[in-house]
A = this chain, B = another copy of it.
Amino acid sequence: MFKIALIGAGRIGQVHAENIANHPNTCLASVVEPYDANAEIVCNKYGAQRQSVEQVMQDETIDGICICSATNTHADMIELAANAGKAIFCEKPIDLDLSRVRDCLAVVSNHQAPLLVGFNRRFDPQFVELKRQFEQGKIGKASTLSIISRDPEPPSAQYVNVSGGMFRDMSIHDLDMARFILGEDPVSIYATGSCLIDPEIGQAGDIDTGVIVMRFPSGAIATIQNSRQSGYGYDQRIELHGELGALQAMNKNENHIVSMTDTGTETAKPMHFFLERYKDAYQVEWQHFVDVLNGQSPSCSGYDGEIALQLADSAIVSLKTGRCIDL
């Protein structure tokens, strides 16, 4: 039984807390959380104790830490945990600043600390199945990859201000997914975007609608479509086209009921947001962290986190200059 300390017990922290507690090989030993309310929810529910960061790092019984705190604390927590010899799970991103990410990963590397970066979609059974069928040769060599990712509704302007912008905050998942599916790193990136949904997002200097195109060494081309507002729930689709055909990962809907009436045939909307849509992905992700605790290499490394951020940064340059950026 591995003892886990949770750093940050907000919305996503509580998702991980449940998975930690339910997994037969991990238990939630302690929680670091500045807000009493969040800390109490998790401590009461899973019998965890509340600790400070220093206590966690000095506590030799703690095997792994799960970092779900604010983005600007991630790199510090990773470094402390690497120093303390803990296995590290960290929610994306490592940091919004690429040089800070690189410094942090150097520390991780020096300590040979096991680090799993939480690109949760890599663990989604749908996308894993699509990749499996692709790798089994069902559609031959890849030609075009299309990733659609739309949030149900825009975040607050306040959040947008600290998010690093849509490409670093939201598209970063899709940039990683393109590398994950195709198994290669892009050679160029072009991006464009608009503010069409919420003028406050535009006033904050950001976009809410974007398209990114990446070229890969094999000649394959990936297209990403992002929106901060779908109007119909969480739109998370992937379509991969190859020599012999195409594979699609469709949305998961709220239910499987079809109604047929005078106004048409109706099915349910896609599940509302990531907590519902990726509920099982978070479980698979945690299972993989248990594998990492048992000595396996992380399938989503610090390097993957670094590259995704670098691509997001290049997308921003492309958006601002109107140029296609060579990588």
Contacts and interface: CB of A to CB of B under 8 A. Distances in A.
A251 interface: yes
B262 A245 contact: yes
A250 interface: yes
Interface string A170-192: 00000000000000000010101
B126 A255 contact: yes
B211 A213 contact: yes
Nearest to A130: B257
Interface string A82-107: 00000000000000000000000000
Nearest to A125: B255
Interface stretch (A29-37, A137-145, A298-306): A137-145
Contact of A261 (B193, B244, B263): B244
Contacts of A322: 188, 324, 326
For chain A, the bracket of interface size reads 35 or more
B268 A246 contact: no
A96 B146 CA distance: 30
A256 interface: yes
Interface stretch (A4-12, A63-71, A228-236, A288-296): A228-236
Interface stretch (A51-59, A115-123, A215-223, A308-316): A215-223
Given A255-B129, A261-B138, A262-B244, A192 B221 contact: yes
Q: Which of A125, A221, A229, A232 has the most CB of B within 10 A?
A: A232
Given A232-B246, A323-B323, A138 B192 contact: no
Nearest to A248: B258
Contacts of A261: 138-139, 231-232, 244-246
A43 interface: no
A253 interface: yes
A192 B211 CA distance: 14
A226 to B, nearest CB: 9
A108 to B, nearest CB: 34
A15 interface: no
Contact of A269 (B192, B265, B269): B265
28 contacts: A126-B257, A139-B231, A139-B259, A190-B190, A190-B192, A190-B324, A192-B221, A192-B324, A194-B219, A194-B221, A230-B260, A231-B243, A231-B244, A231-B261, A232-B260, A235-B246, A245-B261, A246-B261, A247-B259, A250-B258, A252-B256, A260-B270, A262-B269, A264-B266, A264-B269, A265-B268, A322-B326, A324-B324
Interface of A: 22, 24, 45, 125-126, 129-130, 133, 138-141, 143-144, 146, 150, 188, 190, 192-197, 209-211, 213, 215, 219-221, 223, 225, 227, 229-232, 235, 241-253, 255-270, 322-324, 326
Given A190-B324, A248-B259, 17 more contacts: A24-B45, A126-B256, A133-B257, A139-B231, A195-B219, A230-B241, A232-B262, A244-B261, A244-B262, A245-B260, A247-B260, A249-B257, A262-B269, A263-B266, A265-B266, A323-B324, A324-B324
